Amino acid sequence: MYSKISKISSINKMHTKQLDQFVGQEVTLQGWVANRRESKTVVFINLRDGRGMCQCILGVEDLGEELFATAKSLGQESSVAITGKVVVDERQIGGYELHASHLKVYQNAKDYPISNKEHGIEFLVDNRHLWLRSRRQWAIMRVRNSIIYAIHNFFQREGFVQMDAPIFTGNAAEGTTDLFETDYYGQPAYLTQSGQLYGEAMAMAMGKIYTFGPTFRAEKSKTRRHLSEFWMIEPEMAFCDIFENMDTIEAFLRAVVLEVIEKCPEELEVLGRDISKLQTISKTFPRLSYDEAVEILKGHKDVEGQNSIKVLEQDLLNVEMRIAEVKADISSREAAIAAGGMKKGEINFNQNKIDSQKQELKQLEEDQRNIPNWLKSARDFVYGNDFGGSDETVLTRLFDNPIMVYDWPHEIKAFYMKRNPEDPRFARGVDVLAPEGYGEIVGGGERETSEEWLVEKIQEHKLPMDVFQWYLDLRRYGSVPHAGFGLGLERLVAWVCKLDHVRETIPFPRYYGRLEP
Ligand code: 4AD
Ligand code: MG
């Protein structure tokens, strides 16, 4: 019996996800007061215990006057233990209710700064240490946890060896513009941008490896996809070309997303995530060469009879029509309320509608501002450039699954990329672009095996040759075709949870201008 309760048999503690085993029995739950309502004789507490929620009903008759008065005094986020009988109630979050017989207060908290009313985003990020307790953040952190677990599951199942790459490095891997420099015993060192080069060395020792670690980039721009500190997963495979690499990426993302859908139905529901948009991951990912991608982006080539530019122009018209509709509906409801004569319930109903429509309006107006910029960016795109965020949004608009863009102009890719032997204008890199406007979540490719070409690239990128000698050794001693990729964990979490910004995907985000809390 105990093993069912907790894997650690000496700790017999109940939590909200075990209530199904104790219907009709007395249990004690420990947690925090997420919110509290009261009438003359009953206090309702929504108890949050980290695992889930449970409504607790504390009646004056069961508790006695003194404890009941304490219950009435509890502020939001007070820490308590509540003992009571478990009763099934499908209407409640979690499906159970606790009819309390006893209350123990650890701390009665007063003036918790985050209430149920709307707060500005800066305020919430400033209070990240508390914001993490909110229901949406709870859901996001649990999805993140499940994603991490699924990633390890996939690679361990497939025989990859997890390795830790160093954080202090003497060389850049992904360009020199966004390095964080530190002082390493009087010598300059950089915080790692990528574990890949070390991963390549380890792959020559182990066959298949993956890193899972923090990476740092001094991105001096505030976008919704850039962090200064983020977690990257970088597998590397010996005897692997770009096409097998793409097969691996596809199988990997599919396995991870499907596992998360299976394990996190409650969390995804809290987030209001439309699961059907994730389930398409079971379908084959389209693979496009850079050249094809540019044609589609500029509207010179259709995908299944659809044209990216025309579809976006239509999106804009739809947005404008919807804005007019929503505005008209809001003002007619406001007028109806103002005219008077409505019952209280009716007023509330209409007010709720107005509030939710104002939310929708905000999003619509943002789209109305953005779409023309995306269209301009796509039309003006110059062949040979890297895709910006706007270009990725336009390009992915026609697809409901991640797409893989490969064979990039070698000038815009990292020094280690293999040149396509059949057409050396291109490097064998691959980017995976997520749908629904999320864009790049994975970057990878096949690695250059020729020492001569690598040396040339290192010079071209003005990188210091001496610190790359160890890397060149990998081409001198048993060089083999090899490939790998890097997944940005936070970008995947943002897409799976459908978040507006990566700052909510990590417990304590670090991005340009943010070092606290
Ligand atoms: O495309 P990137 O720069 O590729 C590499 O670092 C390679 N060494 C990977 C490899 O082949 N082993 O970065 C990989 C991924 C991006 O696709 C993106 O998801 C994420 O890392 N990423 C960031 N995520 C958040 N904030 C940033 N500033 C990021 N920069 C890259
Ligand atoms: Mg990239």
Helix orientation angle between 135-157 and 242-263, rounded to the nearest 10 degrees = 130
| Angle at the Cα of 257 from the Cα atoms of 494 and 394, rounded to 5 degrees | 50
Nearest alpha carbon, ligand 1 atom 18 = 488
Query: Which of 151, 169, 232 to probe ligand 1 with, by most ligand atoms within 8 A of CB?
Result: 232
pLDDT tens, 335-377?
Answer: 999 998 889 899 989 999 999 999 899 999 999 999 999 999 9
pTM for the whole thing?
A: 0.94
Sign of CA dihedral 16, 17, 18, 23: positive
Provide the residue count of the chain. 517
| Angle at the Cα of 440 from the Cα atoms of 414 and 208, rounded to 5 degrees | 60
Q: What is the pLDDT of residue 12?
A: 52
Q: Does residue 414 sit in helix, strand or coil?
A: coil
Is residue 375 within 8 Å of residue 136, measured between CB atoms?
A: no
Give the number of the atom of ligand 1 that is nearest the alpha carbon of residue 173.
8
Q: Does residue 34 sit in helix, strand or coil?
A: strand
Query: Quick one: pLDDT band at residue 11, thresholds 50, 70, 90?
Result: very low
DSSP-assigned letters across all residues of 19-32: GGGGBTSEEEEEEE
Residue 428 contacts by C-beta under 8 Å, 6 or more apart in sequence? Answer: 241, 242, 406, 407, 417, 418, 419, 420, 445, 446, 483
Average pLDDT of the segment spanning 485-514: 97
Average pLDDT of the segment spanning 16-20: 91
Q: How far apart are the first and last CA of the chain?
A: 42
Q: Per-residue pLDDT for 273 more than 80?
A: yes
What phi, psi does 168 have (nearest 5°)? Answer: -80, 130
Surface-to-core class of residue 141, CB atoms within 10 Å of its CB (0-12 exposed, 13-18 middle, 19+ buried): middle
Which residue, among 59, 105, 98, has the nearest Cα to 78 in the 3D structure?
105
Give the number of the atom of ligand 1 that is nearest the alpha carbon of residue 484.
11
DSSP-assigned letters across all residues of 66-97: HHHHHHHHPPTT-EEEEEEEEEE-TTSTTSEE
Average pLDDT of the segment spanning 89-111: 93
Question: The tokens of 136 are what?
Answer: 């949406």
Q: Per-residue pLDDT for 6 more than 60?
A: no
Peptide bond into 517 cis (omega under 30): yes
Q: How far apart are CA 401 and CA 278, in angstroms?
A: 8
Residue 79 contacts by C-beta under 8 Å, 6 or more apart in sequence? Answer: 30, 31, 32, 33, 105, 106, 107, 109
Give the number of the atom of ligand 1 that is nearest the alpha carbon of residue 440.
17
Element (H, E) at 473: helix 469-476
Q: How far apart are CA 403 and CA 441, in angstroms?
A: 10
Q: How far apart are CA 462 and CA 452, in angstroms?
A: 16
Q: What is the DSSP letter of 284?
A: P
Q: How far apart are CA 347 and CA 354, in angstroms?
A: 10
Query: Which residue(s) pair with 209 in the sheet?
Result: 161, 236
Is residue 483 within 8 Å of residue 237, measured between CB atoms?
A: yes
Q: Per-residue pLDDT for 465 more than 50?
A: yes
Which residue, among 440, 161, 356, has the nearest Cα to 430 in the 3D structure?
440
pLDDT tens, 115-152?
Answer: 877 789 999 999 999 999 999 999 999 999 999 999 99
Query: Quick one: pLDDT band at residue 9, thresholds 50, 70, 90?
Result: very low
CA of 414 to the centre of ligand 1 (A): 12
Q: What is the DSSP letter of 108?
A: -
pLDDT tens, 191-244?
Answer: 999 999 999 999 999 999 999 999 999 988 889 999 999 999 999 999 999 999
Of the listed ranges 246-255, 454-463, 479-488, the least confidently predicted one is 454-463
Query: Which of 211, 230, 487 to probe ligand 1 with, by most ligand atoms within 8 A of CB?
Result: 230
Mean pLDDT of all residues belonging to the chain: 94
pLDDT tens, 334-344?
Answer: 999 999 888 98
334 to 321, 330, 337, 338, 360: CA distances (angstroms): 20, 6, 5, 6, 16
CA of 440 to the centre of ligand 2 (A): 7
Residue 2 contacts by C-beta under 8 Å, 6 or more apart in sequence? Answer: 9, 12
CA of 26 to the centre of ligand 1 (A): 51
Percentage of the residues of the chain whose pLDDT score is greater than 70: 97
What phi, psi does 432 have (nearest 5°)? Answer: -105, 125
Q: How far apart are CA 79 and CA 104, in angstroms?
A: 9
Q: What is the pLDDT of residue 340?
A: 87
Closest-approaching ligand to the CA atom of 510: 1
Nearest alpha carbon, ligand 1 atom 17 = 442
Average pLDDT of the segment spanning 455-483: 94
What phi, psi does 429 have (nearest 5°)? Answer: -90, 160
